[in-house]
Amino acid sequence: MSTEASVGADPEEPVVPADPVIETANEQLEDGVNRCPACGSTEIQLRVSTSMLICLFCRHEWAEEKVEPLVSADQALRDLTGTTVATGASDITADADMLTMKCSGCGAEVVVNTSESTSSRCHWCRHVLSVNEQLPNGAVPDAVLPFSITRDQAVERIKEFAGKRRMFALRRFTREFTPENVVGVYLPYMVVDSNASADVQGVGEVQTRRYTRGTGDNKKTVYDADVYRVDRHVDFTADDLTLESSSERANMSAFVNTNNVINTILPFDTKNAVQWNASYLVGYTSERRDTDVSELVPVLEQQLLSIARSEVRDSVSRYDRGVRWETENVVVHGTRWLSMYLPVWLYSYYHEAGERSMVHYIAVNGRTGETMGSVPVSHWRLSVAALTTGTVLESVAVAILAAS
Ligand SMILES: [Zn+2]
Ligand SMILES: [Zn+2]
């Protein structure tokens, strides 16, 4: 006789598979001190011309590990399921911006305001202390893409950009133009890999005959066409889509301009991003991420849908009178999220014009040198140019106005 069987028959808790997490914290920097591997000095910064870290004491140069192999782990995007979030992209839960660090040089306690900086100098022994911990406030990302375009190169690009628009630019802008005031900024992005499918349905037309009816002023061209129901299913993957992860910037009216500007200097070579080391940020400003994965899912779905549309477009060329899409939907099978700092050189100009004052920006991609921006235009100069050289230039002027 045995009762064990019934005793042991308690229904087990259903096993819910936890979403996978990718650990990206830089373990070598756990003690909060970023030392030169050759001499141990903490005087380290980015050498832009090589995109490597350089020790200002012994001139040794090195780079942190690329983050891509760590993240993809040989998994094909086609096999991606669920939501994988790297540790630096996890939800923002704390407002804990002030971090107290113990200086390993002298033992003093040093406070770092992580919303403004990710490193600080010990005021007693002058050791540089760096925030390497991925605090739940979005200040430390999974990866950083270091600048490779130097300040001088950025200044050149900005001069060239403004120079081409000089003819229509506000005189004051031209007079006060000081591209040397360019600032290097690391902006927060989510870099997302996706495995998805999409279904679209619509109506396509193929022309069978084309002829004219009536005579004289009543002449009309008509056509006959066969009408088809068109259904398409696409399975696709998207590698390294970049989504802005600072909502603060999107909400500030003065910055609306920048938002658009930054998106026009994409893409970045995100595959070259390296593991976090606060020393990459020395001498640059950065903006903290304030958006979680869940808030960015709708944005991602919109981007995936537009990828699906363009995938489908090639397959419907036989409908020579076009296809009118009526329904579309995207199913996301798997995503992988990584937070990353991307490098941008920014030149700003505050244009004061009463109620319509605004900040104009010229932005330079810190990797490719791609440059875009807006320059305050003189409407008077635009009209004169349009009157003297005709309608072609006028349409150009309107386009510039619309873009500014
Ligand atoms: Zn050194
Ligand atoms: Zn100290």
What integer pLDDT is reported at residue 154 of this predicted model? 96
Nearest ligand to the C-alpha atom of residue 103: 2
Q: In 3D, which of 227, 141, 224, 150 has the Cα closest to residue 187?
A: 141
Question: C-alpha 110: how far from its chain's center?
Answer: 32
54 CA from centroid of ligand 2 (Å):
22
Structure tokens of 347?
């030149």
One digit per residue, the tens of pLDDT, for the chain of length 404 reads 333 333 344 455 555 556 777 888 877 776 667 889 999 898 999 999 999 999 999 999 999 999 998 888 778 899 999 999 998 888 887 666 677 777 777 777 777 777 777 777 887 777 788 777 777 777 788 999 999 999 999 999 999 999 888 888 888 888 888 888 898 999 999 999 999 999 999 999 999 998 888 888 888 888 899 999 999 999 999 999 999 888 765 544 444 455 567 788 889 999 999 998 888 988 888 888 888 999 999 999 999 998 998 888 888 888 999 899 899 999 999 999 999 999 999 998 877 777 777 778 899 999 999 999 888 877 766 666 555 554 544 445 455 555 54
- In the three-class reduction of DSSP (H, G, I as helix; E, B as strand; rest coil), residue 107 is classed as coil
Question: Ligand 1 centre from 139 Cα, in Å?
Answer: 27
Residue 7: the pLDDT is 39
The ligand with the least distance to the CA atom of 127 is: 2
CA of 377 to the centre of ligand 2 (A): 52
Distance 281 CA to ligand 1 centre (A): 18
Q: Determine if the peptide bond prior to 20 is cis (ω within 30°).
A: no
This prediction's pTM: 0.79
Residues 6 or more apart in contact with residue 364 via CB below 8 angstroms = 149, 154, 157, 158, 182, 265, 344, 345, 346, 347, 370, 371
Residue 28 CA, ligand 2 centroid: distance in Å: 20
- Ligand 1 centroid to Cα of residue 27, in Å, is 20
Residue 365 has which token pair? 């991609």
Residue 375 pLDDT: 82
Rounded CA separation 197/304 (Å): 9
Ligand approaching nearest to the C-alpha of 53? 1
Burial 290-324, CB ≥16 within 10 A → b, else e: ebbbeebbebbbebbeebbbeebeeebeebeeebe
Q: Which two tokens stand for residue 105?
A: 């040089």
Question: What are the tokens at 226?
Answer: 């066969």
239-272 b/e with 16+ CB inside 10 Å = b?
A: ebbbbbbbeebeeeeebebbeebbeebeebebeb
pLDDT at residue 114 in the model: 74
CA distance 55 to 28: 17
Centre of ligand 1 from the C-alpha of residue 33, in Å: 13
The H or E element spanning position 327 is strand 323-351
Between the CA of 87 and the centroid of ligand 2 the distance, in Å, is: 29
Distances (CA, A) of 170 to 202, 347, 349, 387: 49, 16, 12, 18
Distance from the CA of 53 to the center of ligand 1, in angstroms?
Answer: 10
CA distances from 160 to 72, 165, 257, 261, 282 (A): 39, 9, 20, 17, 28
Instruction: Calculate how far, in angstroms, residue 271's C-alpha sits from the geometric centre of ligand 1.
Output: 28
Token pair 């991609």: residue: 365
Give me 18's structure tokens. Answer: 């936890």
End-to-end CA distance of the chain: 87
Q: Do 238 and 193 form a contact (C-beta atoms < 8 A)?
A: yes
Which ligand has its closest atom nearest to the C-alpha of 106? 2
CA of 120 to the centre of ligand 1 (A): 19
